[in-house]
Amino acid sequence: DGNTTDAVLAALTEAARKGVVVVRSSRVGHGLVRRNIEVDDDKLGFVAAEELNPSKARVLTLLSLMHTKDPKVVQQNFYKY
């Protein structure tokens, strides 16, 4: 589900405010991390990894960051790829 503790969520929120692209993913064996389900991604500026596990999400994030740091554009890459 891509959820985390309140303390980690606060730290990630601050990082996103400073321009860090924050991508939520999950290490469970199956399932999706959808936007705005467990966390208000729109409000916090986070990206939801959808069906990608953390390893695959990291690769797509790195490729995305070669072109943009805009979380909305990065999110579109997760929908597309």
Question: Is position 73 within any domain?
Answer: yes
> Domain total for the chain?
1
Domain that holds residue 41: 6-80
The residues facing 48 across adjacent strands are: 24
Structure tokens at 50: 């959808």
Average pLDDT of span 26-37: 88
Question: Is position 40 within any domain?
Answer: yes
Give the residue ranges of DSSP H helices in the chain.
Answer: 6-17, 41-44, 54-65, 71-80
CATH code of the domain covering residue 27:
3.40.50.40
Question: Is position 1 within any domain?
Answer: no
Question: Is position 57 within any domain?
Answer: yes
Question: Is position 41 within any domain?
Answer: yes
Model confidence, pTM: 0.91
Q: pLDDT tens digits for 34-43?
A: 999 989 999 9
Residues in the chain: 81
